[in-house]
Amino acid sequence: MSTSQAMQPPDLADAMSMLDQVHRRPTLAGIAQAARLLLPHAEPLSTQTLRLGCVASFTIDPLRPAVELQALRDGLALETYLAPFGQFDRDLIDPSSGLSRFNPDVVLVAIRLADVCPNIYDAFNSLTADAVRKLLDEWFTRLESALRTFRERCGAYLLVMNYEQPVSPSLGLADRTTACSQSAILHDANKRLNEMVASLGSARVMDYDALVARHGRESWSDRRNALYARIPIAPNYYWHFAGFVQRYIRPLRGLTRKVLVLDADHTLWGGVLGDVGQEGIALGPDYPGNAYVAFQRRVLELYHRGVVLCLASKNQPGSVEAALEQHPAMVLRPRHFAAMRVNWEPKPRNLQSMAEELNLGIDSFVFVDDSEVECELVLRTLPRVRTVPLPREPADYTAVIDALDCFDQFAISAEDRQRGELYRAEAGRRQLQQAVVDMPTFYRRLEMKITLTVNDARQIARAAQMTQRTNQFNMNTRRCTEDEIRACMNSPSHEVVTLALADRFGDNGVVGLAILEKSAPDWVLSQFLMSCRVLGRTVEQAFIAWIARRAFEAGAHGLVGLFVPTAKNKPFAGFYVSCGFAAAGSRDGVEQFTLALAAADTKIPDWIEVIHPFPTEGA
């Protein structure tokens, strides 16, 4: 890209291609070039923005371009504030500090215990147990005071790095057998940090120690840079540290991926099925077949974590399905795939088709293939899809799956673990719909049952997760933490309503959420969303009818619905009007709709059975 080209916003495909190249070979020169060409255009290349504040005990400025580029890979434009070197206390405590004026959405607290309590690392053997405890008590008092002071005036989400173990414990081999060893002290310090951060609300500990261990404690730090520039991270790990930061930001902004699309030949097994047949593919107890078995097992673990699996293979229709069903060494079976495309169509077209079938955004897809050509085609055609080429050595395939942190979320619910089965069950529903004459008949044959609960503490984690992951049928895509959901449940002026759906094909789990402000004379829907996989069955209309009836019987005159248009929630745009609401204008980008409850139709369709329609709060 020339200098003149750099003045214009780059094409999205070119930008994603450049970021993909940096990710594969993250050199300082590559990061610097990508930052120069892409970061000035981050907003037009992104789907959302975030204000990230950073306070650190070390020099973090050189890592900023990598952090912002890693965010850009997820379609997130970062506006970043870096506190002056070592001034984390002042920036957290002082209401006139740069961090306070910046008003961040998220704050990275990158404070190393080695920087603030260096004797625990460098002079441990000269310290008594009481001296170590005193050092830690003083540090945690200082840290907690700063964080709580900041929390009192700012609701930004706090991401706090934990403390890494030393490369070589001070007591050597005796470290493992000594009660008050260096390793034990640091383990206890991290446990104490976890408890303190959990008490702050809207905060989480980042496992920095695991990051260092994964890449190698010995090589993680460049000793000269650490002493000369106060940077404890070697330059060849800047990109990995940035990815570590983005790994924790991603779930906060609903950017976690949901779908893994796999090739078949040379991916699920070795060889070309059409050439060698089932009996000739490499899949079994011996190398290289056992490498493919190991790969499938890793993928199956993702499936049981809630990742939706799909398959796109250029093969004779029916051949891949038969191999998945019949081969004795196969780990992944047809039931594990929510959608399959076995044909000779271009893979981008097949991915778009599966996205439409599953009713999921294409930016929630990850595509894995052994062919660099196919990966490049998908990247160029569908740049929002995360493309992952497999290495030449099949023994390395499992490492590719292990590195896919884009599926991470902070909690795994029962609904997550069943997600693959839920999407698979959709195939049965689609077949039923094709077999019936009219929609009411189809709905009745589904035998739908909805269960609604109000302020059910058991649903806090699921409710928060839905706000973080639901983008399309979501009135404002506002992300909520578990603490915020809990606060609404405990507030006398709010109600948190969750909706679970079951039908003849299975239990869909909790798929709907509404947060109500019980103001007078009208109740306000401050949050309303539903999982896209259950849309179009009149459940969303029944949910509104149930809420309207509840509000009316509580004495409300009207129900107010809010809508904040985003790039992703267009499917929600006409929903209120379809439920009988009237447009009531807009203010500050928020559209308002009102439903007069005295005249509203709150009847639930006869094809939906409501279980426990008005349960006891907190049950």
- Rounded distance, CA 201 to CA 151, Å? 9
The stretch 418-429 carries a mean pLDDT of: 70
What average pLDDT does range 270-285 have in this prediction? 93
Q: How far is Cα 297 from Cα 316, in angstroms, rounded to an integer?
A: 25
Query: Are 327 and 278 a contacting pair, CB within 8 Å?
Result: yes
Q: Could you read off the pLDDT of 185-241 as tens digits, one per residue?
A: 999 999 999 999 999 989 999 999 999 999 999 999 999 999 999 999 999 999 999
Does 433 have pLDDT greater than 90? no
- Whether residue 82 contacts residue 62, with contact meaning beta carbons closer than 8 Å, is answered with no
Q: What's the first-to-final CA gap in the chain, in angstroms?
A: 61
Average pLDDT of every residue of the chain: 92
Residue 206 has phi, psi (to 5 degrees) of -100, 130
Closest CA to 498 of 486, 509, 490: 509
Question: For domain 269-407, which architecture applies?
Answer: 3-Layer(aba) Sandwich (3.40)
46-252 with 269-407: one CATH topology?
A: yes
Q: For residues 287 and 283, give the distance between their C-alpha atoms in angstroms, rounded to a whole number.
A: 8
Spell out the domain ranges in the chain. Answer: 1-43, 46-252, 269-407, 437-611
Report the half-sphere exposure of 518 (CA within 13 A, side-chain side): 16
Instruction: Please give the pLDDT value at position 323.
Output: 97
CA distances from 34 to 81, 154, 343, 386 (A): 20, 33, 37, 18
CB neighbours of residue 118 within 10 Å: 12
- pLDDT score for 251: 93
Check residue 618 and give its pLDDT. Answer: 41
Tokens 């997760």 belong to 465
pLDDT at res. 389: 95
Assess whether pLDDT exceeds 80 at residue 336: yes
Amino acid identity, position 302: L
How many Å apart are CA 133 and CA 42, to the nearest integer?
46
pLDDT of residue 125: 95
Q: Give the pLDDT score at 426.
A: 64
φ/ψ of 473, rounded to 5, equals: -100, 75
- Residue 202 tokens, joined: 């809207």
The pLDDT tens digits for 560-600 are: 999 998 877 888 888 999 999 999 998 888 999 999 999 99
Domain 46-252 has CATH 3.40.50.1110: yes
pLDDT at 127 over 80: yes
Give one word for 277, left, alpha or beta, with left for phi > 0 and alpha for psi -120 to 50: left
Q: What is the pLDDT of residues 26-37, one digit of tens each?
A: 999 999 999 999
Whole-number pLDDT of residue 535? 80
pLDDT at position 34 is 97
Residue position matching structure tokens 């080695």: 114
pLDDT confidence band for 616 (50 / 70 / 90): very low
Asked if pLDDT for residue 437 goes beyond 60, the answer is no
Mean pLDDT of 358-362: 89
Among 129-133, 156-160, 474-478, the least confident range: 474-478
Give yes or no for a contact between 144 and 198, defined as CB atoms under 8 angstroms apart.
Answer: no
User: Would you place residue 431 in the very low, low, confident or very high pLDDT band (cuts 50, 70, 90)?
Assistant: low
Q: What is the mean pLDDT of residues 265-287?
A: 94
Percent of the chain with pLDDT over 90: 78
Look at residue 614 in the predicted model and tell me its pLDDT.
46
In this predicted model, what pLDDT tens digit does every residue of 522-573 receive, in sequence order? Answer: 999 999 999 877 888 899 999 999 999 999 999 999 999 999 988 778 888 8
Q: How far apart are CA 83 and CA 286, in angstroms?
A: 55
Q: Does domain 437-611 have CATH number 3.40.630.30?
A: yes
Q: How far apart are CA 14 and CA 383, in angstroms?
A: 9
* Strand locations in 354-431 (E): 365-369, 386-389
What are the tokens at 452?
A: 């609604």
Q: Are 121 and 114 in contact (CB under 8 A)?
A: yes
Answer whether 337's CB lies under 8 Å from 310's CB: yes
Number of Cα atoms under 13 Å in the Cβ half of residue 262:
28
pLDDT above 80 for 424: no
Does the structure show a pLDDT above 50 at 619?
no
C-alpha span between 241 and 243 (Å, rounded): 5
Q: What is the pTM of this model?
A: 0.79
Q: What integer pLDDT is reported at residue 571 of this predicted model?
A: 81
pLDDT at 1: 45
**Please, which pLDDT band fits residue 452 given cuts at 50, 70 and 90?**
very high
pLDDT classification of 445: cutoffs 50, 70, 90 = confident
DSSP string, 257-305: --EEEE-SBTTTBBS-HHHH-GGGSB-SSSTTHHHHHHHHHHHHHHHHH
